[in-house]
Structure 1
Amino acid sequence: MSPLYAAVLAVILVVLLSVSLSRVRKTHTRQDYLVAGRSLPAIVLVFTLLSSWIGSGSLLGGAENAYNHGLVALWQPAGGWAGLLLIYFIAPRARRFAQYTIPDLLEARYSQAARVLGVIAILFAYTAITSYQFIGGGDILSLIFPQQISPDQGKYIIAAFVICFTALAGMSSVAYMDLFIGLLATGALLVAMPVLLHSAGGWAGFRASLPASHFTPLGDYTPLRAAEIFLPTCLLMLGNQSMYQKFFSAKSARDARRAVVGWVIGTIILETVIVLIAMLGHALALRHQATPKPREIIAFTALHSMPAGWGNLLGALLMGAVFAKVISTANNYLFSPATNLVNDIYVRYITRNPSNRRVLIVSRLMVVLLGVWSLYQALHTGSVLKATLYAYTIYSATLTPVVLAAFYSKRVNAHGAVSAIAAGTVITVFWDTAFVHAHLPAVLADRDAIFPALVVALLCLGVVSAVTGPPDAAKLARFEASTAQE
């Protein structure tokens, strides 16, 4: 089977490389590289949003959760669905703001300090997200070539591909690769699920193969535990810089809003299918007395659980789709913080008014450096699910409340925003340390960081703003004018 799977992966890589090279010829300016010349139509936006959101966090972390606990794993993507419903109203305003990054927004609404702290939070979160894409890609290569490539060697290979693809043409390269990847993944996942369900003996056979708790809304979770995986995803979705950059890249506010509608529908369908495929893969693995790693269950299912004959081709396409999704998400989350370092640090504080050529060179250098840092993290990460929640929490507890307040609150000021970002970041980064566990009761220290980090950030946002006076009236007026409804 390996030659077929290898051939599919090779074709996918050639197509992705061709797309990247084709976009390089159209990338001449800072705006071309960072926001694709603000030219992306709705159809491209839909698939680049889908591809950037559904990556190893869903295909490995979510699948790992579904393998171990069943349908309760849907609480994690459901947070994203809830966030998407609110984003429908935010997207047009974000597009009208028409800048490059979330820290652009933070400085326009708050202060330079908010911009810098926002960059730091994004670097922590997005390089962590990129790192577990490298883990996912490495696992896939190791499954297909078990004698030739170890998981760690696979991480190096995937990191090299991702860094190359991302550095070539920036947002334009990322978006148009995502169009191909989104179409491939959507088709493969939707065809594979009914095929696997039939192999598992239909719905009755499927249910009989797994514990009954796997098919209940909470499974073996408590409501608090369900909220701990729901809330970080919801808040990450609402403040996701990669998403806002796509909106900044849209041809118009109308294209941005239309893209959100397609994104909502696609995300609900695909993430539900991913959870069901992970559960079906678990059922089929039990039938064949196999013991795959939970996080690898979708790739393992594509390799070992498809029917003979034409099912091998479907398995290869499913494996290729997972592989391409991992690369796509890594591209997006590696490109985004590189944009921050260039736009929010280099252009803002180091070299004023650099030439387009210099910006492109520095941008590509930042992609390489952040890719190496992400690879280092990948080589020292255990659970993808744990890494996913850590990355989501950093972002959701620190930046999302501040971003939403920028659009919807006239009372929050720069002091409140800066204190909220700083407090949320510090609590999340240090929550799992020995110091915290030694000085807090176990009932609190053993919980995930999302609630303590979010509560402290919100308190800082509200209380500090209340005691330090109203925001700068002129700055607030300029920001509201830049995002006003048409």
Structure 2
Amino acid sequence: MNQPVLIIAVNSLALLLTVCFSLWISRRTRTAEGWSVGGRSLPLIVVVLTQFATASGGGMLVAQVGLGYQFGWGVVTYGVFTAGGVLALLFMARWLRQHDFVSLPDIIKKIYGGHRVLMTVVTLMTMVVPFGWLCTQLVAFANLFHQLTGVNSTVLAVAFAIVGLLFVLPGGMTSVAWSDAIFGAFMLLMAFVVGFYALHAAGGWSEVAAAATPARVGWEGFLAPGLLTIGLWAMSLTPGTMTNQMYFQRIYAANTLRTVVWSLIGTAALLLGTKVYASVLGMSAFALNPRLGNPEDAAGTIIAGMPLILSVAYSAFICQTLLSTVTSAVQSVVVNITQDIYKNYTTRDVTSRDILKLSRILSAVVLAVALVLSLAFPSALDWIVSSYAYSAVGLFFPVFLGFVLRRTNLVGPYTGIAGVVAGVLVAGVTQALGTNIPYVAYGLAASAAAMLVTGWLTRSRERVGQDGAVPVG
């Protein structure tokens, strides 16, 4: 059996088995809460692995290995900011657990009240990142597996979307989280195996260290990307992680506060571990071929020399890594549509059964729209990915500064609106001007300043309450 046929057979069997598991575990999903937040009953190991699998995505497969090729241990610096964003959520974990939140806009509503303009803007911004992730993962799968198998990219994208739908449809978060637990465990195993293989192929650590130069393998490697790049990472990755709804949903889904605390610590540790993996792979690829034209070809350098059985296993690693992000992204977007748009704007009484039925229908619709966009405009996906930074500048201070000030008279709906609009607008203008300082810094500063000024100008004693907000229509 040749390699493409074996890859197709092994991945098809693995996906079939996991779909069957998803159908089996979803039997407990009989309510909208089960679909949206896993019935708030997920144990520690499941929460850690689903957070890890969702956070890893396709970036650890190609882009981060490319960074390792360029900067060596500099990828770990990248990971510090991502892990730091995860750990920062501990700051409000207890408060989050005290309320029956389902989505990130629920936090905004609790702090500022239900002003429709604010809720609409925040909901749309919350949806942008997971929808962008969804599109890019579909494209990444189609391109990667076209190279591995020779199958038409469109056929692969359609097939992958159908499989993703089969994962999400039965149980939403329940299906996604428990399936991610399997994916995450396999991803950790493969990262460990491939890391050791890469070192062996490059002649061992001594050979890698000798070839990669001190600028990559010494302590200076952690600063190799440059202070400007590191500053941009600090201002985009940490706030971006802290405003990513998919992380919040898993906090809501955990069975206890203790599970939340340890899951965030465990997730941060695993994310740092994957950056060590990316650094090792990148530096091993540099030792094997120090003259690659494109650093993102570093992963391909390692894969090209793999024995058949390992390359087939690695293909399953790629497939499951991408699928975990796809399913999480679909479920997250659907929760925003059902909970933050449909429930808030419909005039009819909505039951849990209605939301559950609508969630399953919308899963198919969201995946279909993402599939069409990813096939029609694959070259336009860069602007979707860059929206991660805009989501951060628009949501970071309205969520976290709002949380800090929630018991004061500075917090009201116009404070939140000012923070969102100012952050996005200033970031857009400074990006267009091409300033030396990263545009994210300007956006974050403008968001915080706008909130404080607007809060002071519109302060009112009537606004002070349990969470610092009175619902405004």
Q: TM-score range by the shorter chain?
A: 0.7 to 0.9
Matched, 1:258 2:257: no
Superposed counterparts of 1:179-328, under 5 Å: 179-210=181-212, 213-215=215-217, 216-217=220-221, 221-284=225-288, 286=289, 294-295=295-296, 297-298=298-299, 300-301=300-301, 303-306=303-306, 308=307, 312-328=308-324
Shift of 1:302: 6.0
C-alpha contact 1:133 1:330 (8 A) present in aligned 2 = yes
2:77 corresponds to which residue?
Answer: 75
Deviation at 1:86, TM superposition (A): 2.1
User: 1-side partners of 2:73 and 2:158: how far apart?
Assistant: 33
Out of 163-172 and 43-52, give the one that drifted further.
163-172
Q: Distance in 1 between matches of 2:378 and 2:77?
A: 24
Equivalenced residue count is: 459
* Amino acid across the alignment from 1:473: V
2:459 to 461, 469, 472: 469
Q: Is the aligned partner of 1:20 residue 2:11?
A: no
Alignment partner of 2:105 out of 103, 121, 132: 103
Q: Is the 8 A contact 1:130 1:330 kept in 2?
A: yes
In 1, the alpha carbon distance for the partners of 2:128 and 2:171 equals 24
* Runs of 5+ unmatched residues, structure 2: none
Report how far residue 201 of structure 1 moved. 1.4
- Give the CA deviation at 1:185: 0.4
C-alpha displacement of 1:126: 1.8
1:423 alignment counterpart:
422
Q: Which amino acid aligns with 1:453?
A: G
Distance 1:315 1:470, change over 3 A: farther
Aligned identity (percent) is 20
Matches within 5 A, 1:444-463: 444=436, 448-463=438-453
* Paired letter, 1:323: C
Q: Output the CA distance in 1 between the equivalents of 2:209 and 2:161.
A: 39
The AA in structure 1 aligned to 2:43 is P
Shift of 1:94: 1.6
Q: Which residue of 2 aligns with 1:167?
A: 169
RMSD: 2.8
CA–CA separation in structure 1 for the residues paired with 2:296 and 2:329 = 20
Q: Deviations over 1:345-382 (max 9, x none)?
A: 10111154323332122212322333234334534344
* 3-state SS, counterpart of residue 25 of structure 1: helix
Residue in structure 2 matching 1:406, options 379, 402, 407: 402
The verdict on how the C-alpha distance between 1:315 and 1:26 changes in structure 2, with shifts beyond 3 A counting, is same
**CA deviation after TM superposition for structure 1 residue 398, in Å:** 1.3
Query: Counterparts of 1:376 and 1:297 in 2: how far apart (Å)?
Result: 30
Could you tell me the TM-score, scaled by structure 2's length?
0.88
Preserved CA contact (<8 Å) 1:126 1:334: yes
CA contact (8 A) 1:131 1:378 kept: yes
Tell me the CA shift for residue 339 of structure 1.
0.3
Q: CA separation in 2, counterparts of 1:243 and 1:81?
A: 12
Once structures 1 and 2 are overlaid, which stretch shifts more, 176-185 or 90-99?
A: 90-99
Answer whether contact 2:68 2:281 (CA < 8 A) is retained.
no
2:349 is paired with a residue of what secondary structure?
Answer: coil
2:34 maps to a residue whose letter is D
Q: Report the more deviating stretch, 209-218 or 35-44.
A: 209-218
- Report the CA distance between 1:226 and its aligned residue: 1.5
Structure 1 residues 351 and 13 mapped into 2: Cα distance closer, same or farther (>3 Å)? Answer: farther
Tell me the amino acid that sits aligned with residue 372 of structure 1.
A
In 1, are the aligned partners of 2:125 and 2:391 still within 8 Å (CA)? Answer: yes
Whole-angstrom CA distance in 2 between matches of 1:194 and 1:51? 21
- Taking the aligned partners of 1:105 and 1:200, their CA distance within structure 2 comes to 49
CA distance in 2, matches of 1:377, 1:430: 27
Report if aligned partners of 1:181, 1:325 keep a CA contact under 8 Å in 2: yes
| 8 A Cα contact 2:112 2:468, kept in partner | no
2:35 alignment counterpart: 33
In the alignment, does 2:124 pair up with 1:120?
A: yes
Distance between the aligned counterparts of 2:140 and 2:32, measured in 1? 31
Query: Which residues of 2 match residues 330-369 of structure 1 at below 5 A?
Result: 330-369=326-365
| Code of the aligned partner of 2:159 | I
Q: Deviation string for 1:37-60 (max 9, x for gaps)? A: 111011110101101111123333
Of 148, 152, 158 in structure 2, the residue corresponding to residue 149 of structure 1 is 152
TM-score between the two structures when normalised by the length of structure 1: 0.86
CA distance 1:209–1:359, shift in 2 (3 Å): same
Shift of 1:324: 0.4
Q: CA 1:247–1:374 in 2, change beyond 3 Å: closer, same or farther?
A: same
Alpha-carbon distance between aligned partners in 1 of 2:14 and 2:448, rounded to the nearest angstrom: 44
Preserved contact between residue 104 and residue 126 of structure 2 (Cα < 8 Å): no
CA displacement at 1:79 relative to structure 2: 0.8
What CA distance in whole angstroms lies between the structure 2 residues aligned with 1:28 and 1:292?
53
Provide closer, same or farther for how the CA distance between residues 11 and 329 of structure 1 changes in structure 2, counting only shifts above 3 A. Answer: same
Aligned residue for 2:255, secondary structure, equals: coil
Who is 2:6 aligned against? Answer: 4
Compare 359-368 and 320-329 and name the one that shifted more.
359-368
